[in-house]
Amino acid sequence: MCLLTEQPLTTPYSLFAFINEIKNTIKQYSSAIWLIAEISEFKIYNNNLFLTLVEYDERGNLLARARGVIWNFSQVLKNFQSATNIELKVGIKILALVTADYHLQYGLTLIIKNLDPSYTLGDAEAKVLKIKQQLLKDGIFNNNKNLNLPDDFRTIAVISPKDAAGLGDFKKDATILQNYNVCHFDYYSAVFQGADASNSITNALTRVLTKMVELSRSYDAIVIIRGGGASSDLTWLNDYAIAKAICLAPIPIFSGIGHHKDQTILDQVTRQSFDTPSKVINFLITKIADHAEQIYNNLVYIKQYCYNFYTQRNNDLTNLFECIKTYTLHKTQQLASVLDEELNLQLLLQQRLMALDKLLDATWQQILCFSPEQTLARGFAIVYSNDVNRTPITSKSMSGNYKRIIIKFHDGEIDGSL
């Protein structure tokens, strides 16, 4: 008796027998059917295309996931691309002709026989296109892409799911930069999948901008990274509110969602998008290193310029000093020559003055010898008119003009008449 069902026990199945029973049951549905599904992952191996097919409900909740394969896919893919002019990629919803196969080890696989070219865009791609058209209509689609990058990165805000694999890769190099005080990183956690993804990411962006206002300083950039996880989880990032918040952000935003071939609307509106978080940090390191190298080159140039300037000015000063020295020596020699000439001239003048002084003395003596007193002492007399004017009479002709005269001798005067 089974304690759970209170039914008589039957012989239990082995795991192999049970799975094989399922396989045989599935085999009964061997006819192909047309099936609608969205591609969330795919990879090519040995000319075979392995797919992950998914279906979501209206709210974006995952309803079903199954493994699919197209054996020797090249012709099927060629027919599809020539009819639709698009590549088969993640996010495309397909209408596929499939048969079911169940492997004892790998489980259920849908064998895709053909694709209906008329079913071109999946819900995810149509949603991205709708968001893009709305952002273009709003006139903000290229806002963040058109922002100039800063010359250097000193502070960066990072938005990522908590403990995401890509965050660990990012932090590995970011921590080195921060430890050496090259660049500071602030981390903001957000949910990147599920119904709360939109509010969580936009709230994280709001917190970043609020902190900028509180600290009165701007981040140099915002990094949004994810990394790891299934490609089908990216559908949560194709959200208008997230894309609009990125477009309206006043600083450059870099995205590193973590899938090489899968793109979201975030990758289309951010300043620059990268495949992985590691490529984002490598880009930042390169930019920081380039700026540091530019600063170093500028310093080397300034140092060389200053050295050349100093050397040239020193040479100029040396040449000027030599010119001044030569000029001064020349002028000194000229001045010495002039002084010698002036000294000789002074001696000559002194000699001339002495000779002139002697001449003046002799002349003065001669003049003194011819004074009236000396002349009268030698026996001469002076004749004057005997009137008020006492006019000297120096000739016979003048004497006729006067009747009375005075004769002056050295020892006195006498009156006379003519």
Mean pLDDT value of segment 174-193: 94
Phi, psi of 376 (to 5 degrees): -65, -35
Beta carbons within 8 Å of 168's beta carbon, 6+ residues apart: none
* Per-residue pLDDT reduced to its tens digit, 162-177: 888 889 989 999 999 9
Q: What percent of the chain has pLDDT over 90?
A: 39
Pairing of strands 404-409, 412-417: antiparallel
In contact, 271 and 144? CB cutoff 8 Å:
yes
The pLDDT of residue 9: 54
Q: Which two tokens stand for residue 224?
A: 């949004």
* Domains of the chain as residue ranges with CATH: 15-121 (2.40.50.140), 127-291 (3.40.50.2300), 372-417 (no CATH)
Quick check: helix, strand or coil at residue 4?
coil
Question: Quick one: CA dihedral 314, 315, 316, 321, positive or negative?
Answer: positive
Q: Which helix (H) or strand (E) holds 185?
A: strand 184-189
- At residue 338, does pLDDT exceed 90? no
What DSSP character marks residue 49? E
Phi, psi of 130 (to 5 degrees): -65, -40
Phi, psi of 221 (to 5 degrees): -165, 160
- Per-residue confidence at 308, pLDDT binned at 50, 70, 90? very high
Q: Which two tokens stand for residue 273?
A: 């998008």
Tracing tokens 């300083």 back to the chain, one arrives at 217
Pairing of strands 272-274, 62-70: unpaired
The pLDDT of residue 120: 58
The pLDDT of residue 3: 43
Tracing tokens 């800063």 back to the chain, one arrives at 150
**Distance (Å, whole) CA 418 – CA 416:** 7
More confident residue, 213 or 362: 213
More confident residue, 132 or 4: 132
What strands, in cross-sheet order, belong to the sheet with 272-274?
184-189, 155-160, 221-225, 253-256, 272-274
Tracing tokens 């239990």 back to the chain, one arrives at 12
Q: Which helix (H) or strand (E) holds 55?
A: strand 48-56
Phi, psi of 51 (to 5 degrees): -120, 155
What DSSP character marks residue 148? P
More confident residue, 33 or 371: 33
Q: What angle do CA 245, 124, 128 make, to 5 degrees?
A: 40
Tracing tokens 């001239």 back to the chain, one arrives at 345
What residue ranges in 237-306 does DSSP mark as E strands?
253-256, 272-274
In contact, 267 and 257? CB cutoff 8 Å:
yes
Beta carbons within 8 Å of 56's beta carbon, 6+ residues apart: 38, 62, 63, 123, 235
Closest C-alpha among 153, 284, 172, 279 to residue 219: 153
Quick check: helix, strand or coil at residue 121?
coil
Q: Which two tokens stand for residue 302?
A: 């300034």
pTM: 0.54
